[in-house]
Amino acid sequence: MSDFFKGKRIVVTGGAGFLGKYVIDGLKKRGCKNILVPLIEEYDLIKSSEIKRMYDEMSPDVVIHLAAVVGGIGANREHPGKFFYENLMMGVQLIEQGRQRGIKKFVAIGTVCAYPKFTPVPFKEEDLWIGYPEETNAPYGLAKKMLLVQSQAYRAEYGFNSIFLLPVNLYGPGDNFNPELSHVIPALIKKCVDAIKAGDDYIECWGTGKVSREFIYAADAAEGILLAAEFYNSPEPINIGAGFEIKIKDLAEKISDLTGFKGEIRWNSSQPDGQPRRCLDVSKAKKLFGFEAKTNFDTGLKQTIEWYKRNSGD
């Protein structure tokens, strides 16, 4: 490992969150001593004055911007305005203030939701602008996508070193299992484990189960982000993923099997499926900064299930 992070002050927004904890762990393993996390209780990063105060007090060399207002399909449908405004305001102002202060590097974390609804599979970075995102998460996806435009514009005009990464759906121990906010893997794990405890003979899942998704273990995603932070310094967006896809129906059956749930899986097709397919082309991350996801999907799911069982209040 190099000494890139050792002498630097690194601010990780969202560092207390799911992905943030893995990023901080990765920074510590790299010998970074000055890791600064602006907690939501102390800094409202939607407000310009709070962002200025954070920069004044923390004086970062590098900012890794993970903080986001996120949720599954239900949360995106219920709060499109909130998801658009708060994600946009956080990112745009953090980058602008970072530019004004001459920070050495800004790592903006985008989202797979920024891709057009009907992107050819596997999703290539060059196809990011060929259409409109899937409607249920378009406000969130577009708010994040504007940080790519800003990063490229600021690099062109000011020479500001801001990079933009596109992680696919995350999962792993420590994920958010709140039914109001959770994504598909924690939602399915919770449904199956809770059904076993309650003695229920079926679970209900949204949609048809026919759409596909790609998932990356959070520790792997953190490693990709840190490799990019150290080695990648170009304007083009880069995918961070595992390079595979699985149909939601197959995922539900896999999680049912791994949790030991023996009941029926019922599909509520009156609820939306979301984007038809998701699978990233991950070749650029490997070529440009040597990133490749390492965690076997079944292994990662088992570890996530075990974590939930240990932490679900029993």
Enumerate the active-site residues: 140
Q: Which residue has the tokens 């577009």?
A: 142
Asked if residues 80 and 124 have their Cβ atoms less than 8 Å apart, the reply is no
- Number of residues that make up the chain: 314
Q: Give CA torsion, residues 290, 115, 73, 37, to 10 deg.
A: 50
Token reading at 169: 């759906």
Give the CA diameter of the chain. Answer: 62
* Angle made by CA atoms 84, 88, 92, in degrees to the nearest 5: 170
H helices present in the chain, as ranges: 18-29, 48-58, 73-78, 80-101, 138-158, 184-198, 218-231, 248-259, 283-289, 297-311
176-212 b/e (C-beta count within 10 Å ≥ 16 → b): bbeeeebbbbbbbbbbbbbbbeeeeeebebbbebebb
Q: Measure the CA–CA gap between 207 and 215, rounded to whole angstroms.
A: 18
